Amino acid sequence: MKKALLQLLFIVFCFKASGQQTIIKYLSGTDKDHTVQWDFFCTDGRKSGQWTNIPVPSNWELQGFGTYNYGHDKVKANEQGLYKHEFTAGNWQNKKVFIVFEGSMTDTKVTVNGKQAGPVHQGSFYRFKYDITGLIKPNAQNLLEVTVAKTSANESVNDAERRNSDFWVFGGIYRPVYLEIVPETFIERLAINAKADGSFQADVYPQNLKGDETIEAQVQKLNGEKVGQPFSIKTNTTAEPLELKSNFNKPLLWSAEFPNLYQVIVAIKNKQGVIHSIKQKFGFRTVELRVNDGLYVNGAKIVMKGSDRHSFWPETGRTLSHEIQLMDVKLMKQMNMNAVRMSHYPPDADFLDVCDSLGIYVLDELTGWQANYDTETGHKLVKELVLRDVNHPAILFWDNGNEGGFNRALDNDYGLYDPQKRTVIHPWEKFNGTDTKHYPDYNYMVNAAAKGQEVFFPTEFMHGLYDGGAGAALDDFWAQMVKHPHGAGGFIWAFLDEAVIRTDKNNTYDADGNHAPDGIVGPHREKEGSFYAIKEIWAPVYIDPQPVDKTFNGKIPVENRYSFTNLNQCTFKWQLVKFPPASAKTTAAIVSAAGSMAKFDLKPGEKGVLNFNLPASWAKSDALYLTAYGADKKEIFTWSWALKAPAVINKIVSSPVKSPIKINETDQQLQVVCDGITYYFDKTTGYIQKVIKPSGTISLSGGPILAGVNTSLKLFTNKAIKGGHIVEADYDGDATLHVKWTFTPGQPAKLEYQYTQKGDADFMGITFNYPEEKITGMKWLGRGPYRVWKNRLKGQQFGVWHKAYNNTITGQTWGYPEFKGYHAELNWAVIENKESPFTVYTTDKNIYLQMLHPAREQAALENNNVEPAFPEGSIGFLNAISPIGTKFQAAKVMGPQSQTNHASGEPVSGTLWFDFGR
């Protein structure tokens, strides 16, 4: 079976040439879903001390071996993995055979047929190879033995990669292993510099030339169509590299917006024909870091909108697949990101291929998590990094370490192997004309925009611990970035929650407390609310939606924040919709009218106006939706506007079935019976106690109270009025609150309230209690489906939404959208429960529905920045809500939208209607 699988994995890279081709023979599998069993022995920890099998590639912890460690663990395991694998060599006469490892953690010793292939490789994230031509037995079985030490014998490698690093530290051969078979005379590698002006240079590194060869290149489109004429150079020279040069007239340029790729076939020829050829994809593009100015691609200023990504999947650690690489880049593009930082190590080569093809700018990074490799080791690893990745047009910068993990003796090494001479940066510090400060607060952003001289792009900001950071406060931050004369963007920490499956703990998820639940998406790429906030804030078609009222003329301001795309290359479609009532079983809106906008010219950086050309009856609809599509036909964002005030949507209609009101009163309690429903009030507090109707009890109680403010009952009264009955309560103390219930036969119970409050407040409004264990779900008309924070209001769409109850802890459990929290722009809400559903309507604008209190992970108790205060009540109707901070920053330092609410002392009034049914 093993031999049959190996035959399937015998892959020939065909280069459309008549000569000998590079042969790739996989000894391992190709990814997490396609593995090959090797013999394996683990020296310590779980399943140690015996020979068994392990899938390759993999991290052995995820296969039940050894010991899990997070980088911050003070004591780490140091087991080794011993691998054996037999393979059959072909009749490879007059060939060179290399064995290639794409990634192995950490120190890796390789022997073939009992002989060591070369020096032990140290460094976990880098491609390395050995020439084993003289070690293999042709047309025979060969024995490959690999010893992998999880802890390096080189302390600088441990310092850079494992000791106190902020990620999981695994062991094993986690990327593919294969044989690379080439002719004796062969092209070892290319390094391409193809510029926006059409100039092309390929540094060619041939091996074992005889001196009578020619090296020829032919540029092609990816479909094989030739571009221009072939060009060549004689090999009768001792120069290395050999430089192949040409010029092309107006090639299609590569950028994140238009990722146009070409390929070049480079061949060594002699009089007999092609000896060896290779094919390499590339893009024509020019990157410039203009000091005291900005970042330019192809002569246009760009702003990077990105996140920091670890290579990770919960069931397989750092062993991924093409499907995961593709999914991650597509998710970034969906968020309107155009960049990614490879923190804190280089990714799989396939990920860079996907960035090239779909269009994502890349910061490629040498590992150095707050500590660096020693110089000798660093020289080797920089070379391995650049040699593998140099031809990817997506890569704009080389990162020489992270947060102080900079070996400055390596800064000049990158240019030795990179003919493009990409800028080397030190993420976290001012260096080489850049300011990449980590976790700036809002004042730093303002000052940098006003006074900064360096090209500014924080390589980590908006730390996304739990539900904090990421999209929260990003709106204010990005407004400053757009103003910055040298602003080049930023990278949100982090793309994903690094929660691993613990095979030693009944396959539970582990994000190592509050160290790794930092993502915009979950471990399986579940989308948090920040995903959609980022999508709106970073939309290259930028619209800041203002409320639409009766003066709306069908025109909305728009800004083109693309670098290369004219808005005449985009498509805009609108819909007018009407929503079902609260009593309906459906949540689907009915489209009353729809249309597309005429193409209009708006160049990058310009501001203009979108003209809807709506029908005259537009105001009869409930909401307006606008969807923008990019030149690639993918959705940029859908904006939505409520067209009617809640008082209009929620116009109360009296029921024809009416019955007289009855009053029952004792010293402690007041009962109001209206339409067969009994409302119980506590006369000592003024609060509603419960509601009873013929079908059962509804446990609404403890309110209304003024959220977060101490008050006491001053006066409680009730009296009959024409056609009904009113119950009133007055409170004073730290604030004042007047409550008035009106009961009218044939109508829901009406609650009017007015409060005066002065000073700072986390939240403002009124709340009630309802047992959490009885709530099963909710349906509402408002912004959704995700909860919001004061500083993360964007990204949600106005409509009718439904959510079943969940107790999701953002970043710890991933049943999104979260049920609990604040929900914006409430019109009405149906509270579904085990007793009897009831509906609450508001006639006021900009009311937030508070649904319960988000649960807190124990580790979160250590960080109040990302666990804002909530009202004590379980269901609230609020005029103001709390902001949320980041792991390292309190909300108050994150900008205007993140400030504590301030009550002026002016009266605030509201009206709610409670429909408990019959």
User: What's residue 550's pLDDT?
Assistant: 83
Residue 913's SS3 state is strand
Fold of the domain built from segment(s) 304-537: TIM Barrel (3.20.20)
The set of long-range contacts for 498-503, using a CB threshold of 8 Å and a minimum separation of 24, is 498/167, 498/168, 498/310, 498/312, 498/523, 499/314, 499/523, 499/811, 499/812, 500/62, 500/68, 500/168, 500/312, 500/314, 500/317, 501/62, 501/314, 501/315, 502/68, 503/46, 503/61, 503/62, 503/63, 503/64
CA dist 279 and 262 (Å) reads: 10
Give the angle subtended at the CA of 207 by the CAs of 205 and 211, to the nearest 5°. Answer: 100
Encoded amino acid at 38, one letter: W
The answer to whether 493 and 518 have CB atoms below 8 angstroms apart is yes
pLDDT digits (tens, 9 = 90+) for 26-56: 999 999 999 999 999 999 999 999 999 999 9
Cα–Cα nearest to 865, from 882, 849, 850, 848: 882
Please give the Cα distance from 332 to 450 (Å, whole number). 30
796 DSSP assignment: -
2-183: CATH topology:
Jelly Rolls (2.60.120)
pLDDT, residue 653, reads 76
Q: How confident is the model at residue 362, as a pLDDT?
A: 99
Q: What is the pLDDT of residue 440?
A: 98
Helices 474-483, 442-451: inter-axial angle, 10-degree rounding: 10
Closest by CA position to 110, among listed 138, 125, 96, 129: 129
Give pLDDT, residue 18: 39
pLDDT tens sequence across 553-565? 999 999 999 999 9
Cite the DSSP H helix spans in 348-419.
349-358, 375-389, 414-417
DSSP string computed for 33-98? TB-EEEEEEE-SSBT-SSEEEEEES--GGGGT-B---BTT-SS----EEEEEEEEE----TTEEEE
pLDDT at 19: 54
Residue 379 CA, chain-centre distance (Å), reads 33
Measured N-to-C along each axis, helices 529-537 and 322-334 cross at an angle, to the nearest 10 degrees, of 60
Work out whether the CA dihedral 150, 152, 155, 156 comes out positive or negative.
Answer: negative
For residues 522 and 461, give the distance between their C-alpha atoms in angstroms, rounded to a whole number. 18
Q: Is residue 199 within 8 Å of 241, Cβ to Cβ?
A: no
Tokens matching residue 581: 């009532």
Question: Checking phi first, is residue 653 left (phi over 0); if not, alpha (psi -120 to 50) or beta?
Answer: beta
Q: What pLDDT does residue 858 have?
A: 66
| Closest C-alpha to 610, from 552, 568, 558, 540 | 558
What is the structure's pLDDT at 518?
Answer: 97
Report the candidate in 699, 667, 546, 531 with the shortest Cα–Cα distance to residue 610. 546
- Region(s) of the chain under CATH 3.20.20.80: 304-537
**Within the chain, which residues score under 50 in pLDDT?**
1-18
Residue 653 CB contacts under 8 Å (≥ 6 apart), including other chains? none
Q: Which residue carries 């030339």 as its tokens?
A: 209
- The residues, any chain, with a CB within 8 Å of residue 74's CB and separated by 6 or more, are none
* CA-based torsion, 12, 18, 22, 23: positive or negative: positive
Q: Which two tokens stand for residue 124?
A: 């976990």
Q: Under CATH, to which class is 549-642 assigned?
A: mainly beta
Please give the structure tokens belonging to residue 595: 């249309």
Helix (H, G, I), strand (E, B) or coil at 306: strand
Peptide bond into 393 cis (omega under 30): no
Strand partners, 202: 192, 244
CATH number of 188-282: 2.60.40.10
Residue 721's nearest CA partner among 654, 674, 653 is: 674
Neighbours of 230 (CB within 10 A): 12
pLDDT at 16: 36
Q: How far is 718 from 625, CA to CA, in rounded Å?
A: 46
Rounded-to-integer distance, Cα 407 and Cα 427, Å: 13
Phi, psi dihedrals of residue 381, rounded to the nearest 5°: -75, -35
Paired tokens of 207:
């091996």
According to DSSP, residue 589 is labeled: P
The SS3 assignment for 664 reads: strand
Q: Return the beta strands (E) in 326-425 as ranges.
A: 339-341, 361-369, 395-402, 423-425
Question: 512 exposed, middle or buried (CB, 10 Å; 0-12, 13-18, 19+)?
Answer: buried
- pLDDT score at 860: 55
Backbone torsion region of residue 594, taken as left when φ is above 0, otherwise alpha when ψ lies between -120 and 50, otherwise beta: beta
Q: Give the per-residue pLDDT at 857.
A: 67
**Amino acid letter at 40?**
F
Q: What share of the chain is helix, strand, coil (3-state, %, to 5)?
A: 15, 40, 45
- Burial level of 757, CB count in 10 A (0-12/13-18/19+)? buried
For residue 859, the model assigns a pLDDT of 57
Residues of the chain with CATH 2.60.40.10: 188-282, 549-642
Q: Where in the chain is the domain with CATH 2.60.120.260?
A: 2-183
528-549 tens-digit pLDDT? 999 999 999 999 999 988 888 8
Would you state the structure tokens that stand for residue 292, as one six-digit string? 């005291």
Length of the chain: 918
Is residue 243 within 8 A of residue 204, CB to CB? The reply is yes
